[in-house]
Amino acid sequence: MNYSRTVQVLSKYKSSTLTQVALNCGFPTEGTKQNKIDLIYNGLKLYNVTGDNIDILSIDIGIKNFAYCKSKLDFSNIKLENWQNNKLENWQNNKLENWQNNQLENWQNNQLEIWQNINLENWQNINLNEKFKYNQLSNIIDEKNHLSYLSNCIINQIIMIPPFPKIITIENQRTRSNGLTATLPTVLTNYTLENMLYSSIYTNKLYNEKFNPLVIPLNSRNMVNFWINRFLKKSNIKFNSLLTKKLRINLVLHLLTNNIIKLDIDLKDLSIVDKKPNYLLKLINAHSSNKISKIDDLVDCLLYNYMMIQFLQNQSSLANVIQHDLDLDSFVNNLNDKYFEYAKNLNLQMK
């Protein structure tokens, strides 16, 4: 990716368009117009993950509720050369309307097929102490050794299982308990385990040349904004944790029932979900030996993982838009229309 070429192409567009580009590609959105151009350029370099198959692992940290989702993005089925040489050639010959309405749409829809089905073995919510059998007495005596042990188990029994992930997303742990003294120990424990896990990943990268993942910290606010909030009229909606939790679960149900995300179990009865709001939880428990009591951590992990899939696909598309100096506004509008279609099914007032 050539810097001068990137500046030449992107500088022609409004700052608001660049903000939408950054939002849809997982880059920071703040700063001046030039800052945004630099962030987009550096972001494309940072995420330049090579290879046909890209394994992605998303983690939501917790002791009793440690959730993770593994997926594989198969770029080998995308014939970018054909897309560039044929469809873009038609676009460059002034067939803009056809390219926008048909060719780009078809290419984006085909991308959905390159994300392999989710296997329940790779979409888990576990109790770390129960899974890794740590001695509870030792936990009371020395919590730091306890967390170090759990961090090492996560590395060896979840993260470093071949094929190694090329991208790992970790949800940022909060550092405040919102004035609730009862939750403060859990907050501090999760925050400590998060930092130990980062350290363990980095250490293993130093001693194993085959293990070199790009580790991306993410937070729930940005994830919810990407999927839902940016499309809502907020004036008439009172947001709280219960509402956003419900919206995220409903979004995953929409993605599953419409085969946008494919789960390796029979989902035919999900059509009755309105009558049985806990059906997804019951369905997963019925097909998994690992019984869970709550679904929101699993839901978030799946949405983080699928969001990262979208970022990588959109970055690949953006690189081609810049290379061929195509219409960036059309590129952004197509992406926003795609994600708006997901959000509007949540039956809230949309923009």
Q: Residue 218: inside a domain, yes or no?
A: yes
Q: What's the pTM value of the predicted model, to 2 decimals?
A: 0.85
- Residue 228 amino acid letter: I
Q: Which two tokens stand for residue 274?
A: 């309105």
Q: Residue 38: inside a domain, yes or no?
A: no
State the burial class of residue 4 (Cβ atoms within 10 Å of its Cβ: 0-12, 13-18, 19+).
exposed
264: CATH: 3.30.420.10
Q: Residue 329: inside a domain, yes or no?
A: yes
Residue 298 belongs to domain spanning:
47-346
Per-residue pLDDT of the chain (351 residues; tens, 9 = 90+): 789 999 999 999 999 999 999 999 999 999 999 999 999 999 998 887 666 678 999 999 999 999 999 988 876 554 333 333 333 333 343 333 333 433 334 334 334 344 456 666 788 999 998 899 876 655 556 888 889 999 999 999 999 999 999 999 999 988 776 666 777 888 899 999 999 999 999 999 999 999 999 999 999 999 999 999 888 776 666 767 778 888 898 888 888 877 788 777 766 655 555 545 577 788 788 777 778 888 889 999 999 999 999 999 899 899 999 999 999 999 999 999 999 988 887 766 555
Cβ count near 129 (within 10 Å)? 17
Q: Residue 24: inside a domain, yes or no?
A: no
Q: Which two tokens stand for residue 175?
A: 């550092």
Cβ count near 162 (within 10 Å)? 7
Q: Residue 27: inside a domain, yes or no?
A: no
Domains in the chain, number: 1
